[in-house]
Structure 1
Amino acid sequence: MAVDIYKEIQNPKLVKKLKREYWEGNNYYGLGNILKKYAGLPYWIPLNFRIQHGIKFFSVTSEDNVKEQLSFYLPKGDSSLFLMYSDKEKEFVKSYLGNKDQNIKNIGAPIIYLDPFLEKVKKENPIIEKKGTVAFPSKGTHFSNVVTDYTAYADMLDNLPEKYKPIKVCMYYLDIERGKDKPFREKGFEVVQNGKLLSQDFLQNFYLNTLSCEYATSNDLLSSPVYYSIYFGLKFFEFGPNVKYENLEEDWHSAYAKEREESKKLAPYRFPIEDVENIDRQRQIANKELGVKHKMSKSELRKFILSQLDYQFIRKIFKPNNKQKTGMIKRIIKLFLPPIFIKVYRKFLPPTSNPIKIKENIDNKAIVGWSGKYNSWKEAQSECSGYDNSIIIDKVLKSTLLVKNGMAAYERDSVTFDKIEYNWSLITTLLYIAASNQNELSLIDFGGALGSSYFQNRRFLDILKLEWNIVEQSHFVEKGREYITDDTLSFFYSIEECLDKKKPSVLIVSSVIQYLENPYLWIDKILSYNFEYIIFDRTAFVADTSERLTVQQVHEPIYEASYPTWFFNEEKFLQQFSEKYELVTSYKQLIEGTINFEDNKKGYWNGFWFKKIK
């Protein structure tokens, strides 16, 4: 677009935000922002596609106008996905371009995704008296000026029967700036506008400006307000003088202007005032042209938007330098977080100041707790009762099968829940890594039981081409292979066995390393495998100058067991990776919370994401 439309915005911060968008057209009328809000995504996430803005009747207009419009939406050399409204227009464009594989998808008009806003308005205004008519005169553009006889138009509106009164006129901001509103104001009509081209609440204002009206009308039957007003429940009729334009720039929008002058001839639908009460017919037409049947659910749209992101696209949009690299990664991670964090349902391990009790069972006994400060693994082990592997595996298998078959939402340590505690830190890290590898991800989940972490977070990972490989003790592997294995989940006895058959780039170590007798020797071993990424999740630390060896007690409803557990010194732990890996980010583990030991030293859980230094 030759005109710098950003100069129309007085807010420099908003301009900066909008210029982050991949394609300027996604900012028009706030269309892209509507999709992001509906999907629960932040405003600044770039949309890797081009959104049709407004109703388009490619199939009935001139070839010159088709060329003019498609040069805007599908410029040569740009293979971006084009999001359209209706099936008919999509098929016409594909046929016109002679490419049946053209990158085009129907998701419906953004206006049908205004649900969060509409619900809020209806809640605040439960009873609204609808009366009168809102008129939408044909609009000008930056390149064409409307020269329709608006004085005659105002007279025609003024002479409508009383049931159509009062009259409100909703005009495009450029037309008001050009003084086109004067004839309507002289008649005493209320004149309103929805905002500017880059106003992010344009369509919300459209709804508010029509909310109190029973009827809508326009002299331009190819315009979007015809179908938007019907969608919002108004009864539409065509009315007004023929449209007339003059071009301000001959090389752009000339075909558009000519098309609008012939709108009554070209329009595929007519809406005579005599048939104004036939709202069923009108809704059927509007729903068809707005692509209502293609409307996605919130989760579907969220997955779709995120699935269009890849590493090259992210790099292109954010263009970080070396100093900005860490900040960029953290910000991209946040792209994948929902707008409202699900409050962690701390059924197991809420924060506590009690040195041992974390959660009490019906016998007033701590379900999980830690105590003691031991000098050696052998000393700690002498205080433990151990555990029965057969009982544990049977309970874990039963719980996992309930989750796998949709009879429980989530399983952790053999206990099922009816509400999932999503691990947002892990989810966003894995999504970012996958985005850098064309949405493909192969990983090893070391000590992953029967797939607890996978089933916990699969809702947000199923958009990926995913290989989730679990390395576990033999009894878990045997049960996993017999009952759990599928196209995504595989089980292995060792990391070496998995590496012989798969090519994982990521190692996940979730709440495992603190239960090993010689954790630092094991770290040396995993460093030798040269994974591209290593993720530690739910790893125990103590706010002290050295490690702390404790005994963990576990009781019903999990199972009866006790075993030695390390709480690491965080600085020493991180130092083990410094020569071969860079720390991308760390994150607090809110699910685990914190504890205070007998000497008031604080225990806590952290997660870390490491990337191999090249």
Structure 2
Amino acid sequence: MYPGAGFYGIREIFLAYAGLPRFLPLPVAVQHGWQCSGHAFEASAKPPEIWVWSPRMAAEVEAYYPAKRIRVVGSFYCYLKRLMKNELPQVEKRGSVCIPPHSSHFTSTDYPIEEFVRQLDKLGDEFKPITVMLYYLDMNSQTVEMYESFGFKVVSNGSLFDECFLRRFVHNVYDKQHCLFSDLGSGVFFAADMGLNLVRFDIESRFVNRGNEHTTDEYISKAKMFDEEFLRSLGETRPSSELGESYMLSPGELRKLILRNYFTWRFVTRSARWVAGKVLRSMGLSSRNPKLT
């Protein structure tokens, strides 16, 4: 219903942690991935609240939404980690997961795939075997064949609206020893939290905006500068502070907060408009197709 909440199983994660039925809507917008800076996406639907990962991101989003409606709750990944604590068997970590630069909706990412693959192939045995994790938008035959031709396993976690996306990510990553990457992203921070050794490759990537109003040239330029500075100062505390685990709510606190937001004027009016729109669309469909009535 609100931006971010329906991506990657985020809604289901928060509802499950709060002990609420998973079919309910989430009455807030959510920071759906790691960002170097804020933009207007989460604020676009005027939600009762925007939930962000960290105080840094809260300060960024204040440029687009009132501070009183922005709440730091930690990343949804931290909540899933608690939910999955008894699901993952103890294993000896080995090999690597590789997270290449990835595209997003209306923004494609280009990088020299063959050069990247050859650098991966030159790694020592301690980094093998290598599993390459491609975002579903980049799962084209040419890219997959390039990685597989060097003997690498290629996996994907599912699509944007797949509620098991993040669970698959955890299963694909937790038993690896190294995380190989070039661009910062959510997966790198999640992998670091799971104890993987971060190994960065200096591969030049290029963002091609194909209609995303939030991914401006200014945003891309700012992101690249931020990433470089962040990577230079990367230490044990930086990834964990970005995830905001210390700001997590208890199941009871989260449940109370979700229920309270159901009764806000913003949620009630948006829900009413959504129901009215659905009824009108249904009536319009029925009038065009008499056999349906």
Identify whether the pair has TM-score above 0.5, normalized to the shorter chain. Answer: yes
Cα shift at 1:89: 2.2
Which of these residues, 36, 43, 48, is aligned with residue 74 of structure 1?
43
Cα shift at 1:152: 0.5
Structure 2 partner of 1:377: none
Cα shift at 1:305: 1.0
Structure 2 partner of 1:105: 71
Structure 2 partner of 1:294: 247
Q: Residues 331-370 of structure 1: matches in 2 within 5 Å?
A: none
SS class of match (2:13): helix
Q: Residues 51-200 of structure 1: matches in 2 within 5 Å?
A: 51-58=30-37, 66=38, 69-70=39-40, 72-75=41-44, 78=46, 80-94=48-62, 96-97=63-64, 101-115=67-81, 117-122=83-88, 125=89, 127-177=90-140, 179-200=142-163
For 1:103 and 1:311, the matched residues in 2 are separated by 12
Question: Does residue 249 in structure 1 map to residue 211 in structure 2?
Answer: yes
Shift of the 246–314 alpha-carbon distance from structure 1 to 2, 3 Å rule, reads: closer
For 1:184 and 1:311, the matched residues in 2 are separated by 50
Q: What is the CA deviation profile of residues 533-581 of structure 1, one whole-angstrom value per residue up to 9, with x for unaligned ones?
A: xxxxxxxxxxxxxxxxxxxxxxxxxxxxxxxxxxxxxxxxxxxxxxxxx
For 2:171 and 2:218, the matched residues in 1 are separated by 28
Unmatched 5+ residue regions in structure 2? 277-293
Structure 2 partner of 1:269: 230
Shift of the 270–316 alpha-carbon distance from structure 1 to 2, 3 Å rule, reads: closer
Shift of the 299–246 alpha-carbon distance from structure 1 to 2, 3 Å rule, reads: same
Structure 2 partner of 1:562: none
Q: Conserved in 2, the CA contact under 8 Å of 1:54 and 1:224? A: yes
Question: Does residue 25 in structure 1 map to residue 4 in structure 2?
Answer: yes
For 1:42 and 1:226, the matched residues in 2 are separated by 31
Q: Which residue identity is paired with 1:226?
A: V
Q: Conserved in 2, the CA contact under 8 Å of 1:153 and 1:240? A: no
For 2:80 and 2:196, the matched residues in 1 are separated by 17
Cα shift at 1:287: 1.6
Shift of the 213–50 alpha-carbon distance from structure 1 to 2, 3 Å rule, reads: same
TM-score normalized with structure 1 length? 0.42
Q: Conserved in 2, the CA contact under 8 Å of 1:109 and 1:292? A: yes
Give the length in aligned residue pairs.
Answer: 274
Q: What is the CA deviation profile of residues 374-423 of structure 1, one whole-angstrom value per residue up to 9, with x for unaligned ones?
A: xxxxxxxxxxxxxxxxxxxxxxxxxxxxxxxxxxxxxxxxxxxxxxxxxx
For 2:246 and 2:59, the matched residues in 1 are separated by 16
For 2:209 and 2:61, the matched residues in 1 are separated by 26
Q: What is the CA deviation profile of residues 303-334 of structure 1, one whole-angstrom value per residue up to 9, with x for unaligned ones?
A: 1111111175357537779xxxxxxxxxxxxx
For 1:191 and 1:93, the matched residues in 2 are separated by 35
Q: Which residue identity is paired with 2:42?
A: Y
Cα shift at 1:247: 3.1
Q: Conserved in 1, the CA contact under 8 Å of 2:105 and 2:212? A: no
Shift of the 303–178 alpha-carbon distance from structure 1 to 2, 3 Å rule, reads: farther
Q: Conserved in 2, the CA contact under 8 Å of 1:156 and 1:240? A: no
Cα shift at 1:137: 0.5
Cα shift at 1:258: 3.1
Cα shift at 1:236: 1.2
For 1:285 and 1:251, the matched residues in 2 are separated by 29
Q: Conserved in 1, the CA contact under 8 Å of 2:110 and 2:207? A: yes
Shift of the 263–134 alpha-carbon distance from structure 1 to 2, 3 Å rule, reads: farther
Shift of the 163–263 alpha-carbon distance from structure 1 to 2, 3 Å rule, reads: farther
Q: Conserved in 2, the CA contact under 8 Å of 1:170 and 1:192? A: yes
For 2:188 and 2:229, the matched residues in 1 are separated by 12
For 1:98 and 1:32, the matched residues in 2 are separated by 21
Structure 2 partner of 1:44: 23
Cα shift at 1:252: 5.6
Q: Which residue identity is paired with 2:72?
A: N
Q: Which residue identity is paired with 1:73?
A: E
Q: Select the structure that is richer in strand.
A: 1
TM-score normalized with structure 2 length? 0.83
Shift of the 182–252 alpha-carbon distance from structure 1 to 2, 3 Å rule, reads: farther
Structure 1 partner of 2:290: none
Cα shift at 1:291: 0.6
Q: Residues 511-530 of structure 1: matches in 2 within 5 Å?
A: none
Q: Conserved in 1, the CA contact under 8 Å of 2:174 and 2:191? A: no
Q: Select the structure that is richer in helix.
A: 2
Question: Does residue 317 in structure 1 map to residue 279 in structure 2?
Answer: no
Cα shift at 1:233: 1.8
Q: Conserved in 2, the CA contact under 8 Å of 1:83 and 1:106? A: yes
Shift of the 41–89 alpha-carbon distance from structure 1 to 2, 3 Å rule, reads: same
For 2:125 and 2:219, the matched residues in 1 are separated by 33
Cα shift at 1:267: 3.8
Cα shift at 1:228: 0.7
SS class of match (2:249): coil
For 2:74 and 2:161, the matched residues in 1 are separated by 21
For 2:212 and 2:24, the matched residues in 1 are separated by 36
Cα shift at 1:184: 0.9
Structure 1 partner of 2:164: 201
Q: Conserved in 2, the CA contact under 8 Å of 1:117 and 1:204? A: no
Structure 1 partner of 2:188: 226
Q: Which residue identity is paired with 2:131?
A: K
For 1:78 and 1:240, the matched residues in 2 are separated by 39
Q: Conserved in 2, the CA contact under 8 Å of 1:90 and 1:106? A: yes
CA RMSD of aligned residues (A): 2.7
Higher relative contact order (CA 8 A, sep 6+): 2
Q: Conserved in 1, the CA contact under 8 Å of 2:209 and 2:215? A: yes
Cα shift at 1:161: 2.0
Q: Which residue identity is paired with 1:289?
A: E
Q: Residues 412-491 of structure 1: matches in 2 within 5 Å?
A: none
Cα shift at 1:220: 0.3
